[in-house]
Structures are given as C-alpha cells and as structure tokens.
Amino acid sequence: MVKRYIFHIDANSAFLSWEAVHRLQHNDPLDLRTVPAVVGGDPTRRHGIVLAKSIPAKEFKIITGETLYAARQKCPELLIVPPNYSLYRQCSDAMVEIFKEFSPLVQRFSVDECFLDFSGMESVANDPVKIAHELKNRVRNELGFTVNVGISTNKLLAKMAGELKKPDMVHTLFPEEIPTKMWPLPIGELFMVGRATSQKLLSRGIRTIGELANYDLGLIKQFLKSQGVLIWNYANGIDYSPVRPGGDFAVKGMGNSTTIPFDVEDRYNAHLVLLSLSESVSARLRQAKVLAGLIAVSFRTTEFYNFSHQRKLYNPTDCTDEIWKITCQLFDEIWNKQPLRHMGLRVSELCQNDFQQVALFTRDYNKQRQADRAVDLIRSKYGPSAICRSSFLYSGLRSISGGVIENEEFPLMTSLL
C-alpha cells in the first residue's frame, strides 16, 4: 500500500511579503518586512482592518483582523499599505507553478496556501522532508518570499504541522507525533475551532487539543452537534479528504463589501453604494465567464446590527444594471432607514455564460451588456478609474468599491473536504 505524503504550503504574511517583494523589485529601498507595517484599507475612509502584518508589527501585539485605528494605537509609527489584489493573484500563480513541478496534484486552498499530494513519489525522491526543503528554498530564491511547509499523511495534519513555527520552516506531524506535537496545543489552535466554539469547550474544561481528543464523543456531539464530531475527529488526526487538483475555477460565489466613509441615511446614497458594489462584482463575473443565479444584499447599521436578504433569479445574469436593479429591490425590502456604515453584495449559484435564454416578460439587457463589455475593455487597458458613471461625481463615494471579503477565486474553506 502506498503511504500518503501530503504537503501543506502556506506563504508567510502573504499580502505583506508580496507587497514588499514587489516594491523591492521596483527599486524601493525599504523592505516592509523589516519595519512595523501592515496591509489594510484606508483608515481615513473607515474601511481599515489589518489583512497582513510584518514580524516587527507582531511585536506590538497587532493582530490580523483588528481595525487599523486599534493597530495605530498600539504603534503610532505603523506603516499602512493598501491592498493590491491583482498583484496577489500574480504572486499566487507564480508560487503554484513551482509547486506543480513537484507534483501534478496541487489544490489551492486559499490565495496563499495549497495542498500538494506527494504520495507514490518514492521513485523520484526517497525523502519527502528533503523535497519539502527544496520546494521551500526554490520559492524563497526565485520569488523572494518565504513559505512554511507542513508534511503528514492527510491534509488536516499537514495543515496543523505548517502552523507549528514560522517563518520559512518545514515541519512534520505524522500520526505517531500527534501526542507530543499537537495534543499539548491550546484548543483554539485546532483547525475549525473558532472563538465561539473555543469558549464552549473551555467552559467544559477542555483546554487543549489532547483533552478534546480524549473526551467522550457522545458528550461532544450533544452540545456541538455535527461540528463536535468534526473537530473531535480533527483532534484525533482523522481526515480522509483527498487533494483535489485545481481550485482556480472552483468558484461557488463572489462577494464584495465596503465600509462607507460616512453614515448613509438616505436611499439615494445607499443605492449608489450598491451600484459601486455591482460594478465590481459584475466585472468579476464577466472576467470569470459565469452568470449569477442568486443575488444577496447585506448591510450593517451604525449600531452594528446586521441584515441580509437574497433572491434566486429565473434568468442568471452578469449585467451590471440588472444586478444593481435587483440588489436595490432587495435592499428596499428590508431597510427601515437605519443609518448604515457597511454594505455588501454577494452572488452565487454560478453557471456558464455560453448560453442565455431570456424570458418573455423579462427586460432585454443586451445593449447594457454590450456597454459593460466596452467599459471592461477600457478599464482593463487604462485602469479601473479610467471611466465612471456621472452619478458618482462629487458624491464622496467611489465608483467601484468593495474589498475582497471572501476571495472566492481561492475560497476560505469551512472544512478540508
């Protein structure tokens, strides 16, 4: 029987490292990785959270996901760099091309991490650990940034191995190493155990991964249901999910959201925000050559209450105007004129756009689609700000908005399956 060797490869501080390398290649004398720096939004416009941080920034207790305001309170000299998602895509693609030279079985798990199946490669290399070091060093030497590599017999243990110590490291976590390497770790470090689940486990005296692994499965299932079974299996190193090659086009949905630079209290401005989100989401649909079969709108009030509403479409679409019209209808159905600070748009149930059937009483958006294609061409050639709708002039709003909240081209999986 062929022994499984699964690699989990994760770029260290990916967004910040990629930005640093890009700037160094363009003659910037400062390496962002050597100073307190983060990649995040624009704090002056209220959409600022930390997406990635340097090691010096980590020393100030700055954490990923916190607001830029809070981060600046910890480190007044913090250098903030805006995100560049097209650059991150290029860096991710370059990284994956190197991985494919080691195995044809490469699965993208997110924009900065992949699984690689090295099983059955003993004829090529007898020592998978040596190969992992070679892979890691090639990324560092050829692309200028570092990765961590975790090695085990399944995806779950490989991912846990890669998290043991960073950066630029190779770790193993084989089944026989679980009691010494994984079980002593705090329960919150187990994959799929978030803050809420961690608190539930702690309240029952389960402090470490080992304590969960040795806890009665029936009791775990009683208070955590199917989620409890999943994390109990993970705590015991049980995972049978295969490495599924690809991931680039396994897009289940696309979504953008934005924190608005001022409180939105009227329908006109709310609709403008939704238009700016529709511009970005529909462009991504057309780029991926897919149509949306379901549209969902969400918003957060200034008192931090969240609302959402969705609708399935009879005729899938990628047309900006059509998506915007439906989004506004959904918004109007649930908004009670509360002041808003955050709005989002998500599309899902995607299908190919090689055939489209228009219903008898549905408005024909063919002319709008032709205009969309022309706008896409101009923006791809001259930049996203090359052309915009006049309604955004002097509005204080961006004509295209929405940071990638879920990078659907590289989905953040809820499990390893």
CATH superfamily of 1-178: Reverse transcriptase/Diguanylate cyclase domain (3.30.70.270)
Q: Kindly report the number of other CB atoms within 10 A of residue 196's CB atom.
A: 8
Residue partners of 228: CB distance under 8 A and separation at least 6: 217, 220, 221, 222
Cβ contact 312:349 at 8 Å: yes
Contact 60, 18 (CB under 8 A): no
For domain 183-235, the question of CATH label 1.10.287.3510 is answered with: no
- Residue 78 CA to residue 178 CA, distance in Å, equals 39
Burial class (CB in 10 A: 0-12, 13-18, 19+), 251: middle
Q: Would you identify the CATH topology of the domain 253-404?
A: Dna Ligase; domain 1 (3.30.1490)
Give residue 256's Cα distance to chain centre. 11
113 is catalytic: yes
pLDDT in tens, 1-28: 668 899 999 999 999 999 999 999 999 9
In the chain, CATH 3.30.1490.100 covers 253-404
Query: What is the predicted pLDDT for the residue at 165?
Result: 93
Annotated catalytic residue within 113, 322, 408, 409: 113
Average pLDDT over all residues of the chain: 86
What is the rounded distance in angstroms from the CA atom of residue 103 to the CA atom of residue 69?
43
pLDDT in tens, 132-183: 999 999 999 999 999 999 999 999 999 999 999 999 999 999 999 999 999 9
- Per-residue pLDDT at 57 exceeds 60: yes
Strands 253-264 and 403-404: antiparallel
pLDDT of residue 360: 41
Which comes out higher in pLDDT, residue 353 or 76? 76
pLDDT value, residue 9: 97
Q: How confident is the model at residue 252 (pLDDT cuts 50, 70, 90)?
A: low
As a whole number of angstroms, the distance between CA 78 and CA 32 comes to: 11
Please report which confidence band the pLDDT of residue 403 belongs to, taking 50, 70 and 90 as the band edges: very low
Question: Is pLDDT at 251 greater than 60 in this prediction?
Answer: no
Structure tokens at 28: 């910037």
Which of 212, 132, 144 lies closest to 169 in space, CA to CA?
Answer: 132
Phi-psi bin for 372: left (phi > 0), alpha (psi -120 to 50), beta? alpha
Q: Which residues pair with 309 in a beta bridge?
A: 297
Q: Which residues contact 43 (CB under 8 A, 6 or more apart)?
A: 68, 69, 72, 80
Task: Give the residue from 42, 61, 39 showing the smallest Cα distance to 50.
Answer: 39
Q: What is the pLDDT of residues 292-324, one digit of tens each?
A: 889 999 998 988 788 989 998 878 889 999 999
Closest-CA residue to 19 (of 51, 67, 45): 51
Query: Does the pLDDT value for residue 127 go beyond 80?
Result: yes
Q: Which of 115, 98, 95, 99 is nearest to 107 (CA)?
A: 115
d(CA 137, CA 143) in angstroms, rounded, equals 10
Strands lying side by side in the sheet with 147-152: 106-110, 113-117, 6-11, 147-152, 170-172
Domain with CATH 3.30.70.270 in the chain: 1-178
Q: What is the C-alpha separation between 37 and 80, in angstroms, rounded?
A: 6
Q: In which residue ranges of the chain is CATH 1.10.150.20 found?
A: 183-235
What is the per-residue DSSP string for 273-325? HHHHHHHHHHHHHHHHTEEEEEEEEEEEETT--EEEEEEEEEEEE--HHHHHH
And the tokens for 83? 């995100």
DSSP 125: -
